[in-house]
Structure 1
Amino acid sequence: MSIVVRDVREHELDSVLALNNAAGPAILPLDAARMRHFFDTAEYFRVAERDGTLVGFLIGMGSSADHDSRNFKWFRERFPEFFYIDRIVVASRRRGGGVGRAFYADAQSYAELRYPQMACEVFLEGVTDPVLLFHGSFGFREIGQRVLVRNGTRAAMLMKELCSHAWVEETYGKTLPDVPWIARVRDPLQAPRSTGTSE
């Protein structure tokens, strides 16, 4: 029962939206317009399948993205270059089965060729110990905290150094070899921005 991580397909957006909005308080809800905006603009938007069933997704982008998330802007005010994980969702029945680790391994493989760090946040309200432990075991460390304007929830702002990036940049600069496994995960359309906002 292998996990397949691959690019999201347009016809899957409703299913991805349902996964997002069923994830509980650890993930901010979205509407269809915002999900479509991510599909059109996110640098990295991948889903995980197990036995042919969609079991999760991860959305990420680089620090130069035109992204209106306040958490993203918090990182950008402090760091010049990073890959930001806007959200990762795993279906509740699949949590603890390796889907999150598969996503983070895939995202890191993509990001370390292009960015020196990965950034994300974890809400500190409710039962967060397993989430914090997961991120800590994957090499993330807390670099600050932020209170979300929308609902007053406190978030731990996490960063992970990508140790291979310095070598890649020194060896190849910004011109990576033209081979399929290095190609950008997605080539997002430059569609007009949605009016929705996220933290």
Structure 2
Amino acid sequence: MSIVIRDVREHELDSILALNNAAGPTILPLDAARFRKFYDSAEYFRIAERDGTLAGFLVGFGSDADHDSSNFHWFRAHCDRFFYIDRIVVASRRRGGGVGRAFYADAQSYAELRYPLLTCEVFLEHDADPVRLFHGSFGFHEIGQHVMPESGIRASMMSKDMCSYPWVRDTYGEDLPDEPWLQRPRAPSAVANA
């Protein structure tokens, strides 16, 4: 039962949107247009498959992105440069099976070469202790709280230092070696121009 993490494919958007909107109160529902915007502009939009079946997805943006989330803008006001995990959703039947950890390992591997901080938020209203414990065990800590004006939901704003980033920046700057494992997941501008 291996977990495969790969870039999302356009024909999968309806299934991923349905997974998002069935996730429960810890994930805000989206409409198809908003979800399409993620596909067109997210720096990182990957799915997890287990046994050939959709098990979850993760969407992330770099700090320079044109992203309209109030949580993203909170991080932009409080942090210089960061990679923001906008949402992670794991299918209910797959929770507790390592999919979340696999996603965070993949996202961290991507972020640590490009950003000094990995950031995310956890909603505090809906029995958040298991989710906060998960993030704490992965090295995140709260750097503040934010009430989302569009929903009134209070979120714990969390970050994690990317320990490898200073060495990578000092050694390579913005010019990472041309290796397949270092390529950006689905470059949004390449998709938009295709």
The aligned counterpart of 2:138 is 138
Q: Following the alignment from structure 1 to structure 2, what is the Cα–Cα distance between the partners of residues 50 and 100?
A: 12
Task: Kindly report which structure 2 residues correspond to 1:10-25, keeping only aligned pairs within 5 A, or say none.
Answer: 10-25=10-25
Q: Structure 1: 5+ residue runs without aligned partners? A: 193-199
Q: Following the alignment from structure 1 to structure 2, what is the Cα–Cα distance between the partners of residues 51 and 137?
A: 27
- Note the aligned Cα RMSD (angstroms): 1.2
**Higher RCO (CA-CA < 8 Å; seq separation 6+):** 1
CA offsets 1:114-140 (integer angstroms, 9 cap, x no match): 000001000001211110000000000
Q: TM-score, normalised by structure 1?
A: 0.94
Q: Following the alignment from structure 1 to structure 2, what is the Cα–Cα distance between the partners of residues 191 and 144?
A: 35
Deviates most, 150-159 or 67-76: 150-159
- Partner SS, residue 133 of structure 1: helix
CA offsets 1:89-115 (integer angstroms, 9 cap, x no match): 000111000000000000000000000
The aligned counterpart of 2:155 is 155
- Partner SS, residue 189 of structure 2: coil
Q: Following the alignment from structure 2 to structure 1, what is the Cα–Cα distance between the partners of residues 86 and 77?
A: 16
Q: Does 1:120 align with 2:123?
A: no
Q: Following the alignment from structure 1 to structure 2, what is the Cα–Cα distance between the partners of residues 45 and 34?
A: 14
- Partner SS, residue 61 of structure 2: strand
| Contact kept? 1:41, 1:190, Cα under 8 Å | no
Task: Give the C-alpha shift of residue 71 in structure 1.
Answer: 0.4
Identity between Structure 1 and Structure 2 (%): 72
Q: Following the alignment from structure 1 to structure 2, what is the Cα–Cα distance between the partners of residues 169 and 144?
A: 27
Q: Following the alignment from structure 1 to structure 2, what is the Cα–Cα distance between the partners of residues 164 and 152?
A: 36
The aligned counterpart of 1:79 is 79
Task: Give the C-alpha shift of residue 163 in structure 1.
Answer: 0.2
Task: Kindly report which structure 2 residues correspond to 1:2-13, keeping only aligned pairs within 5 A, or say none.
Answer: 2-13=2-13
Q: Following the alignment from structure 2 to structure 1, what is the Cα–Cα distance between the partners of residues 120 and 160?
A: 9
- Partner SS, residue 167 of structure 1: helix
Q: Following the alignment from structure 1 to structure 2, what is the Cα–Cα distance between the partners of residues 34 and 170?
A: 37
| Contact kept? 1:83, 1:115, Cα under 8 Å | yes
Q: Following the alignment from structure 1 to structure 2, what is the Cα–Cα distance between the partners of residues 190 and 168?
A: 25
Task: Give the C-alpha shift of residue 59 in structure 1.
Answer: 0.2
Q: Does 1:61 align with 2:61?
A: yes
CA offsets 1:139-198 (integer angstroms, 9 cap, x no match): 000000011112221100000000000000011011000010001111113899xxxxxx
CA offsets 1:20-62 (integer angstroms, 9 cap, x no match): 0000110011111111111111000000000000010000010
The aligned counterpart of 2:109 is 109
Comparing both structures, which one devotes a greater share of its residues to helix? 2
In the comparison of the two structures, how many residue pairs are matched?
Answer: 192
Q: Following the alignment from structure 2 to structure 1, what is the Cα–Cα distance between the partners of residues 126 and 42?
A: 29
Task: Kindly report which structure 2 residues correspond to 1:27-106, keeping only aligned pairs within 5 A, or say none.
Answer: 27-106=27-106
Structure 1 residue ranges, 4+ long, deviating more than 4 angstroms after superposition: none
Q: TM-score, normalised by structure 2?
A: 0.97
